[in-house]
Structures are given as structure tokens and as C-alpha cells.
Amino acid sequence: MDISLERQIASASRSVEEARRMSYNDPSRTGDLVEHISVLADLRQKEGDFRKAEGLYREALFRVQDLRKPDHELLAGIYSLLAYLYDRWGKMDLAAQFYEKALKLSEQHGFQDADKAATIKNNLAMIFKSLRKQEKAEQYYQEALDSFRALYGEENAKVASVYNNLGVLYYANLDVDRAQSMHEKALAIRQNLNGSDIDAADLSQTYINLGAVYKAQGDFQRAEECVDRAKKLRASANGYAPVARRSASLLLDRSA
Amino acid sequence: MREIVSIHVGQCGNQIADRYWRLILREHGLNENGMPKDGSSVSANSNMEVFFHKVRDGKFVPRAVLVDLEPGVINRIETGEMSKLFDEGSIVRKIPGAANNWARGYNVEGERVIDQIMNVIDAAVEKTKSLQGFLLTHSIGGGSGSGLGSLILERLRSAYPKKKIFTFSVAPSPLISDSAVEPYNAVLTLQRIRDNADAAVILDNEALFRIAKSKLHRAPNYMDLNNIVALIMSSVTASLRFPGKLNTDLGEFVTNLVPFPGNHFLTASFAPMRAIASEGQVRSNFPDLARETFAQDNFTAAIDWANGVYLSACALFRGDVKAKEVEENMASIRKSLNFASYVPTGIKIGVAETAPEGFASSGLALVNHTGIAAVFERLVAQFDIMFDNHAYTHWYEGAGVPREKMAEARDTVADLAKSYRDAS
């Protein structure tokens, strides 16, 4: 295992233990404890120990629920962290369940952070897609898209990501025309982003996806053009060349 | 190394912890704060790492996790003499209480606290180099120790499939009863112990009362009972902690004591059972010690000695005993015990140099006897009377344990009793 990760985990678990001691005598320190716990859980997740990460998040969850003064924002945060964990763990049902809890809470209490809510919607849509609930997936993508557009306007990397995801969803449903229009929108945005926002990997992904769409329509010439551009982009991006396994799964959408 | 993490659950489990850690501290020459006593040579002569981990200022902190759903007993430990001993990060207490209901300890309250408990246990395990296993103390008749204890057992087994789990389980007595629903709680817990523990030492308060009363010559109190339990627990692990000629560890005990999977319910005996006089040590000659160790009325559970056979037995002698004496006396004791026809009449023997404080020498017997079926049969019979009349079951159904699950546990325990009877 990665030695620096090991060291980080050791120091994080010491902090958690210390925080447990503090909050044992003084319940008002629970907020600190929850923070330390989520740091450790994140490291555990990196290490690949999902069981321990789950236990830690759940400890945090129940501690926050037991607080005298309910902290809804913190609670919603833990819900979405748990959901993200289950998402990575492949437990899609649970992931969807906790994302929805987080969303419901944020709607009830009207949090300021609309960006977070929109991100959750996007992630939820991805989960429903993998659960093959196409309608729900589409609905959540649309909602996420509307929120991001309202927040940042049309020309934004996050908006482009959702277009891309929608395109992939339509493509999977054999709705090639709509997929094409989504990917073209994504391309238009991604090409014109400011210097620092341009992500060569995202852009080349869009070319690959567009290529797949053109190919499905029988337009092999344009398909090849797209794939060539994608290849060039990847080659120029720090000598990064896609590995074989990755190429085989190129149609997977990248998480927002 | 070979560290052991102790987990104490519920009121009974923590009361045992209170006596047990006092005893262990004295055995290792530590004071109530976990600091070595001045001039004590004991700590140099023993393996402290098994039960303690040393922190920077030279203090020894028990590898213990204390869990309860009501704060009473733990509060008393925290405000008592050992207030500075335990790591506050490894104490888990919640207010609501399990209300004597297994299902509340297992589902309702347990659900909310089990992750915290497992995180604390994980943290304790991370401080070990080569963990040997866990000791769990609880009662199986109450709510927290039985329900939450069951949940901890299940999670412990799935998180640490290869570590030994030893439980010290206080079972309801035949005559004295604390609550009406004890048989339900006990049967539901026994099912989990059967499935998840490597060995369970069954203790019952009535037997402990009887022993304490006949040997101490005064009216015993709960402290005396828990003291007996503490002596037994300390002896089981003695040869890991103190040098000796014949070493035994938890794994060896399990291999020798469990002839069939699932038949890992043991009973124990400690000798010499004497009130520790203030003026000095209890001395006894070895033949008497050996005989008392294996005396039937000295065992801690209501075993049906008449209708059963020994499946296996272990003995551990501590203190001032000679190997030759052990050999000679155990040979005759071996002959006097009624072993199952298919079991070679071997008694696994261990010897450790240091006796518990106050004793010159001591003996511990752990036996697997088919007469333990009587304990299970009695609980199943009490279970059936209530269950067939639907008495009290609504409390369990209301907390997520439907009647089918209860019937399933009942059948498991009835089968367990039958498998013991069949083994005779």
C-alpha cells in the first residue's frame, strides 16, 4: 500500500480518537468529531476499505442526528457523502436512497448552495441510469441542467458535462438524434471555455462521443474526423495516451 | 504479543469489567490509574501487551471497550477508583436503554450505535501487532447485553473472520429471575453465540450464588459473584501473560474443547474458592486443589451431571505447583471423569507461574459437558410456554423481530440441546 496514505490514515485515526475523547466529555464538540471522522472515512475510501468508511460515515450520521440543535446542512452533507461512497462501492440502491434524502433535506430547508444540489441531481441521474430507470435519470439530468444554467449561464464546464451525460443517456436509448444535439452543445461550450477551464480529456471525450453518434448515423467520414481530433488532443495533453482498457470503455460518461 | 481486546456490554458486562480490571491491574502490579506501582517486579515479569497498551507517560491503558445503553454502571466506574484508567474514546454509552428487550438492543437502539462501537473496536485493533482475539462479557437475559451483544458478535465475526471470539455469558438462573422476558432474550442470543463465537463460557448467577455461599460462609453479594467470574477470565488468559512451562492460548483451548462445530458451550470452575483473608495468602496442597477444581458443585452453570458425559476438558494451574504433582494427580482425576466413549480421555493442561493475588496456587477447569443441554432445554421450555400464548411477543414484533425469527432462534437452540444429548 501507498506509504504516505498509510501515514495519513494513522494520523487521521489519532485525530478521530482524540476528538472522540473530547466530545465524550463535551457534546458540543460533536461538530469537530464529525469533521475528523469524514476526513478519515475519505482516506479509508481511497485505501479501498469501503466497510470501514461506511462505518465511520454512519457513526457521524447518528451523532449528528442526536445533536440537541439539529444541523440540517451538516446532515445533508453526510447523506451525500454516504451516497457517494455507496455509489463507488456499487451499491446503487443505497446510493440513490441517500442522495434523495440529502436532496429532500436541502429542499425543505432551502440551502444556499444550489451548486451542491445540482451536483447531487446529476449524480442521482447517473445512478438511475445504471439502474436502468431512464425516465428518472433524464428528469434529474434536466433538473441539474436547469440549475447549473441558472447559476452559471450557458457557457460553463458543468453545464457542458450535463449535456454530455444527457447525450450518453440518449445514445444508450438509441435516440441518436437527440444524443447528437446534446454532444454538439457540449462541444460548443467545451471548445470555447477560458484557458484554465479547458480540460483536454473532457474535450476529447466529447469528440469520441460525437464520433460514436456519427458512426451510428452512418456518417463514417465525420466519425473518423472526430476520433482523429480526440487522438491528437490526448497525445498533446502531457503525452497522455489512453490505455487499452480505458479506450474500450470510452463511452462511459465522466462524473461531473 | 498476542493481544486480546475485551468488550464489555450492558449492565452485567460492565459490572464484571469493574471486578475484572481491578484483578488484572493487581496481577500486573499496576495501580488504579494504570501506572506501575513503586517497587513492583511483577510488571517486568509479565507480558503486559496482551491486555494493555502503553502510552507515552508510562501509563498502561486497557485494551477494553465499554458499551452500555444506559449510563449507570459505566458512570460508577468512571467516578470510582478506576476513573482515570480507561480511554474515554473507547467508552460508548447511549441514554435510551434497551428496556429488557432483545429486539431493541439488536435493532432499534443497536442500529444507531453499532457503527460507533465497531469504529472504536477497529481503533483498538489497530493498536495491536498480532491480535489473538476478543473476550466479550455480557448477560444473555437482559436487553443491552443480549441484543446489542448479539449484534456486536455478528459484526465482529464478519469484520474479523479469523480471530477467536470468547464470550463470558451470564445466563438466566433456573429459580431467580430478573424479568419475564429473559427466556426470549436468552434464546435469541444463544443463536448468535452459536453462529458467531468460537467458545462461550456459560455462567449462571444461581450457581455462582451457591458456590459463593458454600465457600465464603457468608451471604454473598453481586461483587462476590463478579469476582468469581473475574478470576475465571483472568485464569483463561494467564498463560499468555505470565511465563510458564505449559502454554495455552485461546486457539489451543478452542481446538481442544470443541469436538463438533457449534458445540462450543463451556462451563468453568475456579479453585480454591476461599474468602481472601486479609492476613495472607490462601494455600492449599495440590491434590486438594486439583480435586476442588474438578468438583461438580464448583462449576458455574446448572449442568445435568447425571445424564451426560464429558466431551473435553482443559485445566490450567497457576502459581506454586510442581509438574510431577500435576502429572500424578491429573491421571487419577482423568479416570474419575466420565468421558464420551469416542473421546480419548485427555485433559489439556497448562501451567503458569504467577497465581492470582491472594493465592499461592490456583486451578481453573474449562469443560465441555453434554449436560449443558439441560440449560438450553430449560430455556426453550420457558420460551415455549410464553411463545405459544403470544405473551410479550408484541414487544419484539414492534421492534422488528417477527415471530418467525423468534421461532427460528428457538429451533436453533432446541437443535443445539439435542446435538448435545445425541453426543452423550
With respect to residue A10, please indicate whether it lies within any of the assigned structural domains. yes
**How high is the pLDDT of residue B44?**
59
Residue A123 has pLDDT above 50, yes or no: yes
Q: What is the pLDDT of residues A158-199, one digit of tens each?
A: 888 888 888 888 888 888 888 888 888 888 888 887 766 667
Q: What is the mean pLDDT of residues A85-104?
A: 87
Residue B215 has pLDDT above 80, yes or no: no
For chains A and B, CB pairs below 8 A equal: 39
A21:B115 CB<8 A: no
**How high is the pLDDT of residue A252?**
36
Q: Which of A24, A44, A57 to mutate to test the interface with B (most CBs of B within 10 A)?
A: A24
Which residue in A has a C-alpha nearest to residue B94's C-alpha?
Answer: A66
Tell me the residue type at B347. I
Q: What is the mean pLDDT of residues A208-233?
A: 85
Distance from CA of B123 to the nearest CA of A (A): 7
Residue B278 has pLDDT above 50, yes or no: no
With respect to residue A205, please indicate whether it lies within any of the assigned structural domains. no
Residue the block writes with cell 469493574:
B18
With respect to residue A33, please indicate whether it lies within any of the assigned structural domains. yes
With respect to residue A210, please indicate whether it lies within any of the assigned structural domains. no
Which residue in B has a C-alpha nearest to residue A17's C-alpha?
Answer: B89
With respect to residue A194, please indicate whether it lies within any of the assigned structural domains. no
Look at phi and psi of residue B214 and say left if phi exceeds 0, alpha if psi is from -120 to 50, else beta.
Answer: alpha
Length of chain B: 424
Q: How many CB atoms lie within 10 A of CB A242?
A: 16
With respect to residue A49, please indicate whether it lies within any of the assigned structural domains. yes
**How high is the pLDDT of residue B323?**
82
Which residue in B has a C-alpha nearest to residue A66's C-alpha?
Answer: B112
From CA B100, how far away is CA B141, in angstroms rounded? 8
From CA B5, how far away is CA B49, in angstroms rounded? 11
Residue the block writes with cell 472504536:
B120
Q: Which of B87, B91, B123 sits opposite A13 (nearest CB)?
A: B123
Q: How far is CA B409 from CA B202, B212, B380, B402, B418, in A?
A: 18, 33, 10, 11, 14
B122:A59 CB<8 A: no
Choose among B264, B6, B265, B268: nearest CA to B135. B6
Assigned C-alpha cell, B332 = 487419577
Using a CB-CB cut-off of 8 Å, the residues of chain A touching B116 are 59, 62-63
Strand order in the sheet with B265-271: B91-93, B64-68, B3-9, B131-139, B164-171, B199-204, B265-271, B361-369, B310-319, B347-352
Distance from CA of B72 to the nearest CA of A (A): 15
Q: What is the pLDDT of residues B324-352, one digit of tens each?
A: 888 888 888 888 888 888 887 678 888 88
Residues in A whose CB is inside 8 Å of some CB of B read 13, 16-18, 20-21, 24-25, 51-52, 54-56, 58-59, 62-63, 65-66
With respect to residue A225, please indicate whether it lies within any of the assigned structural domains. no
User: Which residue range(s) make up the domain with A35?
Assistant: 1-70
Q: How far is CA B14 from CA A204, B20, B70, B75, B133, in A?
A: 62, 9, 11, 10, 19
Q: What is the mean pLDDT of residues B130-144?
A: 90
Choose among A185, A189, A191: nearest CA to A213. A185
ipTM over 0.90: no
**How high is the pLDDT of residue A251?**
36
Q: Which of A13, A25, A59 sits opposite B126 (nearest CB)?
A: A13
- All residues at 6 or more sequence positions from B256 whose CB lies less than 8 Å from its CB, including other chains: B312, B314, B346, B348
**How high is the pLDDT of residue B281?**
63
Residues of B annotated as catalytic (active site), given as ranges: 252
Give the helix/strand (H/E) hosting B136. strand B131-139
Report how many domains make up chain A.
1
Give the helix/strand (H/E) hosting B67. strand B64-68
pTM for the whole structure? 0.84
With respect to residue A66, please indicate whether it lies within any of the assigned structural domains. yes
**How high is the pLDDT of residue B79?**
84
**How high is the pLDDT of residue A100?**
87
Highest mean pLDDT out of B3-12, B234-243, B271-280: B3-12
Choose among B13, B22, B268: nearest CA to B137. B13
* Comparison of pLDDT for A140 and A113, the residue scoring more: A140
Q: What is the mean pLDDT of residues A115-120?
A: 80
From CA A61, how far away is CA A71, in angstroms rounded? 11
Task: Calculate the dihedral angle through the C-alpha atoms of B300, B14, B216, B32, rounding to the nearest 10 degrees.
Answer: 130
Residue A121 has pLDDT above 90, yes or no: no
Q: How many CB atoms lie within 10 A of CB B13?
A: 29
From CA B92, how far away is CA B115, in angstroms rounded? 11
Distance from CA of B147 to the nearest CA of A (A): 19
Q: How confident is the model at residue B402 (pLDDT cuts 50, 70, 90)?
A: very high
* Comparison of pLDDT for B405 and B248, the residue scoring more: B405
Q: What is the pLDDT of residues A29-61, one digit of tens each?
A: 888 888 899 899 999 988 888 989 999 999 999
Residue B78 has pLDDT above 70, yes or no: yes
Assigned C-alpha cell, B200 = 462461550
Give the helix/strand (H/E) hosting B265. strand B265-271
Q: What is the pLDDT of residues B45-76, one digit of tens each?
A: 678 888 998 888 888 999 999 998 888 888 88
